[in-house]
Amino acid sequence: MLKIAVGQAGGPTSVINASLVGFVDGLPDQTQIYGIMNGYQGLVENDLELIEGSGLDWLRSHKNVPGACLGSGRYPFTPDSITKAVLNLKERDIHTLVFIGGNGTMAALQKMSEAAASMNYELQTIGIPKTVDNDLSGTDHAPGYASAARYVSLSVRDISKDLEAMRNFEQVRIIETMGRNAGWLALAAGLLKQSEFEGPHMICVPEVPLSKERFLAQVQDIVKENGMATIVVSEGVTFDGDSQVQREVVKGRAVLGGISTEMERLIRMNMGMTVRSENLGMNQRCAVWAISDQDRTEAYEVGNEAALYVKKGMSNVMVSIQRNQVIGYNYKLKSVALEHVANDGERLLPQEYISRPAEFYSWLEQLIGDRIMRYPPMWRRRAFDDLIQHQPEFRRSQ
């Protein structure tokens, strides 16, 4: 009988459970499914649960629920603990290991594969992609990103609208997004912007170096032009090559956060404007109301595809989403070698998206899901006329 162990690792996304359900749905009926509790920690501590009968109903009921229903988390996965993890699988005679995760998870899976080979233990390893940061190599995008991007773009649009109303009281708002070392999420903040006048007026991503002088000068210009500035900053941004601003280090991992507060302080000290910073926070990766239906569909599909790989006996691979370059949105699922994904490391924003954001937004809008109603522009005769002239669909959406 086929026995498999499946786990979830790293920060959750709002659709990671859909991938788990897609995977389980694709397995042959008689498969014994062991759920690994709390990511790689469960594998090391032999905390695996046989999920069968009503347990399967329980698991399937999480298809539309955020978080990671098996437990996820972060855990120092050292060479000794990797050996222990292989031995635990051996004890249960489990020869198939599947993890849903991002680049750290895939690196760990690759190490499991190498350790098993060196111990002469036959182990099939398959990765299912997930990350809100979209920094996973080997795939056009990873499930979880589009929903987080939807949340970011909707939230920033609303905060900008609020600032439009309050600009005789405060002038600058700084909004911090997740993303670690990559700017994919921060750049998504501009997706729904319809005119130059609207926010976000400036988006700072880690891929582009930033000096304090340049930052202050740009803020000054934006406020002069618009009477307000909505600034979006990715948590990984630094000034002048400083180290990243972090809250703390937990289990050897830096928890980033606070660059927006530093920017707020800088503006207050140097410009005498009213400024406030806000962090978009955990809702970016778990707000169920912001899930992109396209994202959830793809999350389920990549899980289902992984089950197909199990049946085909494929190993050391991750499911990848490959976009076809045709009009409209078209993609197929393919396998990529885990080794390549692990070796390629973090996937940062490509230069062409940084210099031509419009290209990035046409890439992103295919993923963002259900139609988003456009807002009317602020009362500015010229801005309204421009909008009607350049975006006739605005009139149709009313």
Ligand X SMILES: O=P(O)(O)OC[C@H]1O[C@](O)(COP(=O)(O)O)[C@@H](O)[C@@H]1O
Q: Which residues have a catalytic role annotated?
A: 133
Interface positions with ligand ADP (CB under 6 A): 9-11, 39-40, 74-75, 77, 101-105, 107-108, 111, 131
Q: What is the DSSP letter of 67?
A: S
State which residue, 346 or 365, has the beta carbon closest to ligand ADP: 346
Backbone phi, then psi, for 26, in 5-degree steps?
Answer: -85, -10
Contact partners, residue 223, CB within 8 Å, separation at least 6: 171, 172, 229, 273
State the binding partner of 180 from ligand ADP, ligand X, none, CB within 5 to 8 A by kind: ligand X
Shortest approach of ligand ADP to residue 186 CB, angstroms? 18
Angle between helices 293-312 and 145-166 (to 10 degrees): 160
Tracing tokens 């979006």 back to the chain, one arrives at 232
Indicate the residue among 38 and 230 with the shorter CB distance to ligand ADP: 38
As measured in angstroms, the least distance from the Cβ of 95 to ligand ADP is 21
> Which chain residues interact with ligand X by CB under 6 A?
10-11, 74, 102, 104, 131-133, 178-180, 235, 255-256, 285
In the bound state with ligand ADP, the residue whose beta carbon lies nearer, of 128 and 174, is 128
All residues at 6 or more sequence positions from 16 whose CB lies less than 8 Å from its CB, including other chains: 8, 67, 68, 72, 100, 130, 143, 144, 299
Residue 110 contacts residue 98 (beta carbons within 8 Å): no
Between 86 and 231, whose beta carbon lies closer to ligand ADP?
A: 86
Dihedral-angle region of residue 313 (phi above 0 means left; psi in -120 to 50 means alpha; beta otherwise): left
- The item of ligand ADP, ligand X, none sharing an interface with residue 178, based on CB under 5 to 8 Å by kind, is ligand X
Task: List strand residue ranges (DSSP E) for the chain, in order.
Answer: 3-8, 32-36, 48-51, 96-101, 124-129, 172-177, 202-204, 229-234, 246-250, 253-256, 275-279, 317-323, 331-337
Q: What SS3 class is residue 94?
A: coil
Q: Which does 75 bind (CB under 5 to 8 A by kind): ligand ADP, ligand X, none?
A: ligand ADP
Residue recorded with tokens 């050292």: 78
Q: Least distance (Å) from ligand ADP to the CB of residue 124?
A: 19
CB of 219 within 8 A of CB of 271? Answer: yes
Which 8-state DSSP code applies to residue 289?
Answer: G
Cα torsion 231, 160, 361, 225: sign: negative
Choose the contact partner of 285 out of ligand X, ligand ADP, none; CB within 5 to 8 A by kind.
ligand X
Least distance to ligand ADP, CB of residue 85, Å: 10
Q: Closest approach of Cβ 322 to ligand ADP, in Å? A: 21
Q: Which does 141 bind (CB under 5 to 8 A by kind): ligand X, ligand ADP, none?
A: none
* Beta pairing partners, 49: 35
Work out how close the CB of 135 gets to ligand X at its nearest, in angstroms, rounded to a whole number.
8
Q: Smaller CB distance to ligand ADP: residue 275 or 338?
A: 338
CA distances from 247 to 74, 184, 242, 255, 267 (A): 16, 21, 15, 6, 21
| Residue 10 vs 71, nearer CB to ligand X | 10
The binder of 111, among ligand ADP, ligand X, none, by C-beta within 5 to 8 A per type, is ligand ADP
